């Protein structure tokens, strides 16, 4: 299999590249390095089965060249910051919706058979059903980030049905682990290194969400992709998350313990009932029953994933 991984030098993308290469595939990475790092993929640079293209997916020509000759596209390129939507919504449009449109335009004129897209739990918004299943409706994102991900999903579905390729869409919970360079754990570690005596916590600390380690995420993506290839659906959706969830305050306690510190917690109080920022989903836990029917099962709980991620980031940050 020859695969293109957009955003392949990023956090999740680079772990996916590792797995693809270890399985003996040919892999091409397209990344502008705005969020990714060459350090994440440097082990493969001299491998004859690996190719790296530094390019901006807002450039149609770059995207068309990147899809040439590949069988499957794993589309992970995106701006990962949910919070940026309230300050710069145009950035989330360009780096989530526009680049997906450009990719789809290139795919429709190519021999690409499969597109695998990493969407987000944010497409569900403040879901009234928790755990939230894939068929939950109506989808009502409360952030520009969630809206951009949902727009990309809709474009992918429309193009797949119209231009006869198949698309697998993963709605991800909070993904954490080695190489992550944003998110609550990363932020807490940086804050405590600057001031070991006090930790600022956005919101009221009761925000409760599901976390999945990147190793479980990549294993789930590969397992479900193999299952999807054996089915006859044009487009399908799968949640990837955990069976449990954890509060922001509990994460702060785990990070503090991992750093050997006992800081004062200073809660900002947040907005809209204790959220960290406008658009922050306060309660999120996805139903993963559909994913489990394929035979996949996560190795780590949310708590275990957080503890492992703290250890990994303290060793590498």
pLDDT mean over 18-47: 97
Q: What percent of the chain has pLDDT over 90?
A: 92
- The reply to whether 178-210+243-284+299-316 shares the fold of 2-175+211-240 is no
| Active-site choice (114, 136, 145, 238) | 145
The pLDDT of residue 80: 77
CATH match for 2-175+211-240 among 3.40.50.720, 1.20.1050.10, 3.40.50.10540, 3.40.50.11900: 3.40.50.720
Q: What's this model's pTM, rounded to 2 decimal places? A: 0.96
Residue 65 has which token pair? 């060249």
**Spatial contact of 14 and 179, defined as CB atoms under 8 Å apart:** yes
**Nearest Cα to Cα of residue 171 among 245, 226, 116, 238:** 238
The pLDDT of residue 79: 84
Q: Is 101 a catalytic residue?
A: no
pLDDT mean over 220-238: 97
CATH topology of domain 178-210+243-284+299-316: UDP-galactose 4-epimerase; domain 1 (3.90.25)
Mean pLDDT lowest for which of 45-59, 118-132, 273-287? 273-287
pLDDT tens-digit profile of 61-95?
A: 999 999 999 999 999 999 877 666 456 889 889 99
Provide the residue ranges of all domains of the chain, joining segments of one domain with +. 2-175+211-240, 178-210+243-284+299-316
The pLDDT of residue 85: 47
**Spatial contact of 240 and 288, defined as CB atoms under 8 Å apart:** yes
Average pLDDT, the chain: 96
* 166-172 sheet: strands from edge to edge: 50-54, 26-31, 2-6, 72-75, 114-120, 166-172, 235-240
């Amino acid at each position: 299999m020859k695969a293109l991984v957009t955003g392949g030098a990023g956090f999740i993308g680079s772990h996916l590249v590792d797995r693809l290469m270890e399985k003996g595939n040919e892999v091409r990475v397209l990344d502008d390095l705005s969020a990714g790092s060459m350090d994440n993929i440097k082990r493969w640079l001299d491998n004859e089965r690996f190719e790296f293209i530094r390019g901006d997916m807002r450039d149609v020509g770059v995207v068309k060249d990147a899809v040439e000759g590949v069988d499957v596209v794993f589309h992970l390129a995106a701006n990962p910051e949910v919070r940026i939507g309230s300050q710069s919504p145009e950035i989330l449009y360009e780096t989530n919706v526009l680049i997906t449109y450009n990719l789809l335009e290139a795919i429709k004129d190519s021999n690409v058979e499969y597109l695998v897209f990493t969407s987000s739990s944010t497409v569900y918004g403040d879901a009234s059903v928790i755990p939230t299943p894939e068929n939950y409706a109506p989808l009502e994102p409360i952030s520009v980030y969630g809206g951009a991900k949902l727009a990309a999903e809709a474009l992918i579905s429309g193009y797949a049905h119209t231009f006869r390729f198949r698309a697998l869409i993963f709605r991800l919970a909070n993904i954490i682990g080695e190489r992550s360079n944003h998110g609550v754990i990363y932020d807490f570690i940086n804050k405590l290194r600057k001031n070991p005596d006090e930790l600022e916590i956005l919101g009221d600390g009761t925000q409760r969400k599901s976390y999945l380690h990147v190793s479980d995420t990549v294993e789930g993506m590969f397992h479900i992709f193999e299952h999807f290839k054996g089915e006859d659906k044009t487009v399908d959706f799968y949640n990837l998350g955990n069976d449990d969830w954890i509060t922001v305050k509990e994460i702060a306690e785990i990070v503090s313990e991992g750093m050997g510190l006992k800081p004062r917690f200073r809660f900002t109080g947040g907005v809209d009932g204790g959220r960290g920022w406008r658009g922050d989903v306060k309660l999120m836990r996805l139903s993963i029953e559909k994913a489990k029917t394929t035979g996949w099962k996560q190795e780590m709980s949310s708590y275990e994933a957080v503890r492992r991620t703290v250890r990994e980031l303290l060793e590498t940050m």
